[in-house]
Amino acid sequence: MNKPFLILFTFFSSYRSVIDRLTLLVILLALTSCGGTSKVTSRKYDGLNNSELSDKQNQKIQVLFFDGLKENALENYDRAENNFLSIIKIDKKHAASFYHLALIYELKQDYERALGCAKQAAQIDSHNEWYRLVLAGIYELNAEYSEASKLYEEITTTNPKNIDAYYYWINSLAAEGNWKDMIKVMNLLEGEMGFSEELAMERKKLYLRQGDVNGAINEVEGILEQDPNNTKYLNLLAELYQKKGEPENALKIFDKIVFLRPNDPYVHLSLSDHYKNLGNEEKSREELRLAYKNPDLGVDAKVRILLGYFTLEGIKEGKTAEAFELGKVITDVHPEDAKSHSVYGDLLYRLDSSKLALFHYRKAISLDESKFVLWTQVLILESEQQDFESMYSDATKAIELFPAQPSFYLFKGISAIQKKKYEEGIKALNSGKDLVYDNNQMLAQFYSTLGDSYYKMENHLASDSAYDKSLEYDRDNVYVLNNYSYYLSLRKKNLLKAEAMSKRSNELSPRSPSFADTYGWILYQEGKYDEAKLWLENAIDYGAGKNGVILEHYGDILYKLDDFEGAKQQWIKAKQTKQGSELLDQKIKTGKLID
């Protein structure tokens, strides 16, 4: 019986233990009858009777045996075991009972007892191939691969037409790592079956495993003798010549492949690798471009190649222009494929071309709106570019598509606040935060944004509560620490708490002009004018020289320190920036601080 080629380098399966019980029943009825394949030595059977036993003993054995088969078929293995053991007490050379006991012990994973019974069955009926095959299989389960291989060799020598035995033999040798003998057995098997492409490929692998490239080449050339223009094997042969260090022979074969299949993009990919191995980068890129421009090379393959140019931070050094060209080719050749625009967007984003990246991400979504990651990337870029109008509409659509993803509610909340749709933003934020699981950073962001929303609505109690909740999840969120403390200072509420939070934000993010201004302004509200002056000067030194709000604050502090002229100069500077409070004009006109 022929069977599919077993996967090499895997252990012999214990498939015998799961043979259909009814099929097994039929087989064993045949084995125990005079017309079966078993040939019991030193004993004479007349039908189902053993002439060496009494009629009563023969009858008892028959009853026990058929009951054992029945229990075995019903998977009552303990009962079946007892029946076969009872038979052996009567007839110590009842091969079929030993055989069944071996299978039962194998099922129970008692491989030592299984081996003992299988040996008995094979010794009693040494001509029964089935018994010997089972014994060989149990040898393998006991990791006695050499013994199994000897049995397979005996079986195939006695019966060269037993194709299954060759396959089992090969797998037993594979378990030992005996590659050389595997090749020999495959050759014997091929002698019985005729040429096999599958066997030739397995031998090729084995030769390579042993470092024998010439042996592998011979196997592939043997296949090509059957089909000289098979480009799959021609390509494989070229690669083997490359491996052997014979690029000239490899190139001859590649030329033949190009002649046979000039429009095959995979040939150009192979040639690209070939020239790259030779150090000819220009020819390698040329062949790669030819492959990329061919629509027969699928998007997935092109994407995989392009991803090879990516690093964690950007694009491989010196490969930017090449990667950019290939990325553009993908979208040109596959304009209606979402993956092409998606990977090109990734490439552009890494090259700091955010606006163009956003264009291609949006194009990808228009072609396939089912990708959560693409929507996230679009919303991140819209946030970075402060395109809150698009961010609002896209977040709304994303929520419709992915109602269980909390991040989209956060994007909608942020964009709604920017559009002064505070109530809608608060509703989205409250819905989204309830979807967050095991992510304190995200929860902190939800509550932070809620704090901003409530502050804009002048609901200070709710705002303070949201900020406090945010800090419970992330006590070192510098933006919450700064904004919360600043808002408290503007209301002149909880100034000691505001001072502590602002101080912490400056420790976490030193040299931030905004944070330095907040701390200085809190000190101002507390009447600590000299300290406040130092912090406002720090803010200006950190780069706030053109920030009207900070310059106005600095002017207010100078006024409190009786530097009236200096205060007015800072107010004028603030005015020139077109920023500052509604009272700024009055301060300049009167030269006085107006609280």
220, pLDDT greater than 90: yes
pLDDT of residue 18: 30
**Considering only CA atoms, which of 220, 214, 222 is closest in space to residue 234?**
220
User: Which pLDDT band, with edges at 50, 70 and 90, does 532 fall under?
Assistant: very high
User: What b/e readout covers 366-378, taking b as 16+ CB neighbours within 10 angstroms?
Assistant: ebeeebeebbbbb
> Span 1-194: which CATH code?
1.25.40.10
Q: Do domains 225-297 and 478-590 have the same CATH topology?
A: yes
Phi, then psi, of 439 in degrees rounded to 5: -145, 85
pLDDT of residue 29: 35
1, pLDDT greater than 90: no
DSSP conformation letters of 195-215 = --HHHHHHHHHHHHHTT-HHH
Determine which helix (DSSP H) or strand (DSSP E) holds 373, and give its type and residue range: helix 372-384
> Average pLDDT for residues 218-238, to the nearest whole number?
92
Domain range summary for the chain, segments of one domain joined by + = 1-194, 225-297, 478-590
**Considering only CA atoms, which of 94, 98, 115 is closest in space to residue 52?**
94
> Average pLDDT for residues 534-558, to the nearest whole number?
94
Tokens of 12: 């012999």
Average pLDDT of the residues of the chain: 89
User: Which pLDDT band, with edges at 50, 70 and 90, does 6 fall under?
Assistant: very low
CA 120 – CA 530 distance, rounded (Å): 103
324, pLDDT greater than 60: yes
Tokens of 265: 């993009």
Quick: pLDDT tens for 30-59. 333 322 333 333 344 433 567 788 888 888
> Average pLDDT for residues 98-123, to the nearest whole number?
94
15, pLDDT greater than 90: no
Tokens of 532: 């406040």
Are 348 and 360 a contacting pair, CB within 8 Å?
yes
Tokens of 47: 């039908």
pLDDT of residue 565: 95
576, pLDDT greater than 60: yes
Quick: pLDDT tens for 154-202. 999 999 999 999 999 999 999 989 999 999 999 999 999 999 999 999 9
27, pLDDT greater than 90: no
Phi, then psi, of 108 in degrees rounded to 5: -85, 0
- Most confident stretch, 37-51, 452-466, 578-592: 452-466
pLDDT of residue 312: 81
Quick: pLDDT tens for 382-426. 999 999 999 999 999 999 999 999 999 999 999 999 999 999 999
> Average pLDDT for residues 132-145, to the nearest whole number?
92
118, pLDDT greater than 60: yes
CA 397 – CA 119 distance, rounded (Å): 71
Rounded alpha-carbon distances, angstroms, from residue 496 to 396, 433, 485, 499: 41, 30, 9, 5
- In degrees, rounded to 5, the angle at the alpha carbon of residue 516 between the alpha carbons of residues 556 and 411 is 110
DSSP conformation letters of 496-545 = HHHHHHHHHHHHHSTT-HHHHHHHHHHHHHTT-HHHHHHHHHHHIIIIIT
> Average pLDDT for residues 1-25, to the nearest whole number?
33
Q: What is the DSSP letter of 222?
A: H
- Judge: domain 225-297, CATH 1.10.3720.10: no
Rounded alpha-carbon distances, angstroms, from residue 594 to 339, 489, 493, 556, 588: 60, 17, 20, 9, 10
Q: Give the amino acid at 540.
A: I
How would CATH label the architecture of 478-590?
Alpha Horseshoe (1.25)
DSSP conformation letters of 40-56 = -TT--EETTEETTS-HH
Range scoring the smallest mean pLDDT among 32-36, 437-441, 481-485: 32-36
pLDDT of residue 87: 93
pLDDT of residue 314: 86
Share of the chain above pLDDT 70, in %: 92
Tokens of 21: 């019980």
CA 595 – CA 593 distance, rounded (Å): 6
pLDDT of residue 49: 66
> Average pLDDT for residues 585-589, to the nearest whole number?
92
